[in-house]
Structure 1
Amino acid sequence: MIDVQRLRILRAVAEHGSFNRAAAALLLTPSAVSQHIASLERSLGHPVAVRSTRGVTLTEPGRLLVEAAETISAELDQVRHEIDRLTADRPRLTVATFTSGGRRLLPAALARFVAVHPDVELTVREAEPETAVPMVRTGSADLALAYHFDGPLPLRAGLDWTPLMDDPLWLALPREHRLAGRDSLDLAELAAERWVSGCLKTEAHLRRYAERASFDLRVAASTTDYFFAQTLVAAGVGVALIPQVSLAPDAAVALVRIGHPRPARHIGVVTPRRRRPHPYARALASALAGAVER
């Protein structure tokens, strides 16, 4: 049988790249770390780590064990949070959400949820998907409202993705812009424009397009707030790509549809895969689906 403590030590060796640094992080001696790894290799019958002058390199069995160690650690964290939830005085639900989803989608769902479950103690944490998804995996959040752009959302084992909606991107232009009256535009028609970035992921998408279309992207302003980005567009700083969920109805900008293929964010809910699903997470996911439909 593989010792869980030795898996934890191997995981630290992989993270720190050396026995000495792993020992320091674990408050062990390098000799103790070396002995644990040697015992793990004897029980497994295969080497898991190779030491060299450049540090420690994991073998293929070692990499598989580290992946298993991460899964086991996440599942144990989930169990600990589940026990805390079961033994709490009041039922609890922790939700992680990206900013614009929290502003435009979550409030209506929460209002519906609270009306049905007034005794649940709610905690809402703002987090981008790259932070929110690991929160669900470790149990520090019961549900995450998240999104992804191209390709599927990368999920580790033990998590489920429930799609809610596609969130198409719009071009936001100053109202007096020469192209503001168009029904649709190709991004290449704005190759000479200065751009306002409202999100690093949107900017990365735009840079990939610019590279394929062979034009240099000129970014005049970078923010992490789509609503702020729209005020900058209204002020004439540049043009921007804005997801539909993030459109500010009072922004003094002209909105133009992007020609085919129209880029979009894909919004959904991330929940842990359990034998007994969290009843309140399931109820909120249902409320979110209802909010999207409305």
Structure 2
Amino acid sequence: MIDVQRLRVLRAVAEHGSFNRAATALHLTPSAVSQHVAALERSLGAQVVARSTRGVTLTPAGQIMVGAAESVAAELEHAQQRVDQLNTGRVQLTVATFTSGGRLLLPGALARLMPAHPRTVLHVREGEPEDTLPLVRQGAVDVALAYHFDGPLPVGPGSTSSLEWTPLLEDPLHVVLPQGHRLARRGALDLTELAAEPWVLGCLKTESYLRRFAERAGFAPEVRGTTTDYFFARSLVAAGMGISLIPSIALTPAIPGLCTVPVTPPGPIRHIGVATISNRDRPHVATLIEALRAQAMRQHHTLP
């Protein structure tokens, strides 16, 4: 029988990357953490972490067990929610979302959810996918509105198999320039044509994508500003600080003096969707996902 507490300790080790930091988070001693992991390895007959002077990393067996640990944590959290519903007649629903996606899709979806499930107590929290998707796997968040570019979902250590991903919307990025820019009237732009331009970006992931593309194309972008707000980035473009790369859903409200130009295919695209663990016995979650899908279909026809 696998001890649940040992799984909890292993999950903390995976999250924090060392026995010492995991011990601090769990209010245990490093020796106790080490003993829990050693006992788990004995019960499994397999090594779950690889120890080095730079910390610890999960072995393949450890990745399997961290995935199991998060599934167990999620099931226990959902069981607690069902018990609370029996006691109070109310059900808790925690939704996480990134800013631009939440602004576009969430209000309309919630307007459909609440009349259908009036006993739902709703909580909304903002965060980037690399922070919110692990919370879904752990049961701390029921639904995460998230996105990814051209790689796997950023869910952290362990298996991603416990996550159910429902695609909602493809969100292409556009070049935003001042109206008087020499390229502002082009029907589409290749990013290599912008190698000499200064950039102002509204998201660290957009900057990371641009730098990867630029490295493959043989140039280094001059990034003069990075913000966490696309509207602010567009405002800086309007002020003449540079140009930007902005997702379609973040191009409203309009700012006077700006021009938006698509990127020549295949251009960068954010894939927006919903992550959950399971909708089983959770009709309020299923209703919200369907409402988000309907909202995404309506918005698809209005995007640039």
Same fold (TM over 0.5): yes
Residues 50-59 or 249-258, more deviating = 50-59
Displacement of 1:45 in angstroms is 4.2
Q: Specify the alignment match of 1:199 in structure 2.
A: 203
- 3-state SS, counterpart of residue 200 of structure 2: strand
1:260 pairs with 265, 280, 283, which one?
A: 265
Percent sequence identity over aligned pairs: 59
Residue-by-residue CA offset, 1:107-159 (whole Å, 9 max, x unaligned)? 22222333444443222211111122122222222211111111342552322
Contact 2:82 2:91 (8 Å CA) reproduced: no
Q: Structure 1 residue 269 and structure 2 residue 270: aligned?
A: no
Larger radius of gyration: 1
Partner Cα distance (2:210, 2:50) in 1: 42
- 3-state SS, counterpart of residue 132 of structure 2: helix
Q: Specify the alignment match of 1:280 in structure 2.
A: 284
Point out where structure 2 has 5 or more consecutive residues left out of the alignment: 299-304
Classify 1:277/1:166 alpha carbon distance in 2 versus 1 (closer, same or farther; 3 Å).
Answer: farther
- 3-state SS, counterpart of residue 195 of structure 1: strand
Residue-by-residue CA offset, 1:35-91 (whole Å, 9 max, x unaligned)? 655554554445656778777777665554444334433433343344334534433
Contact 1:78 1:138 (8 Å CA) reproduced: no
Partner Cα distance (2:182, 2:80) in 1: 58
TM-score where L is the length of structure 1: 0.85
Displacement of 1:248 in angstroms is 1.8
Mapping 1:164-243, distance limit 5 Å: 164-243=168-247
Partner Cα distance (1:105, 1:50) in 2: 43
Displacement of 1:27 in angstroms is 5.0
Q: Specify the alignment match of 1:149 in structure 2.
A: 149
Q: Specify the alignment match of 1:111 in structure 2.
A: 111
Residue-by-residue CA offset, 1:149-193 (whole Å, 9 max, x unaligned)? 113425523220000110111110011111111111111111111
**Matching residue's letter, 2:199:** W
Displacement of 1:213 in angstroms is 0.9
Q: Specify the alignment match of 1:139 in structure 2.
A: 139
Contact 2:71 2:138 (8 Å CA) reproduced: no
Point out where structure 1 has 5 or more consecutive residues left out of the alignment: none
Residues 180-189 or 107-116, more deviating = 107-116
